[in-house]
Amino acid sequence: MAEKLDDITVSEEEREFEAETPSVDVPEVTGGEPPKKEKRSAAPSTARAKQRAAAPGFFARTGQFIRDTRAEMRRVSWPTANEVKNTTIITLIAVIFFAVYLFGIDRVWAFLIDRLRGWLGG
């Protein structure tokens, strides 16, 4: 097995990494004055007004949400009745086991604390 591992090599050509490039074009500043800020006008821009006018209304968005939800629910892998029954039984057994376990631990600690009080004269 060690011989097989010795035969494996990784060439340097396969290890080319992409240079991280910003997703937004950021102008390079070489120094000097900071870039000037643009003043916003009080009236909304015409592009924004057109976007609002073209945006679907409340009922259209609600209808689209319901259609998307129904399509997503069709893709869900629902468990069979037998799987639901089996997982329910397993859950109930686990709950009963831990309830009995914690009850026993509680009774043991209560007994030990009562004995300790008795020994200390309380």
pLDDT digits (tens, 9 = 90+) for 73-82: 999 999 999 9
Q: What are phi and psi of 108, to 5 degrees?
A: -65, -45
For 41, the token pair is 């006008």
Q: What is the per-residue pLDDT for 55?
A: 75
Q: Please state the domain extents for the chain.
A: 84-122
Q: Looking at per-residue confidence, does 26 or 109 come out higher?
A: 109
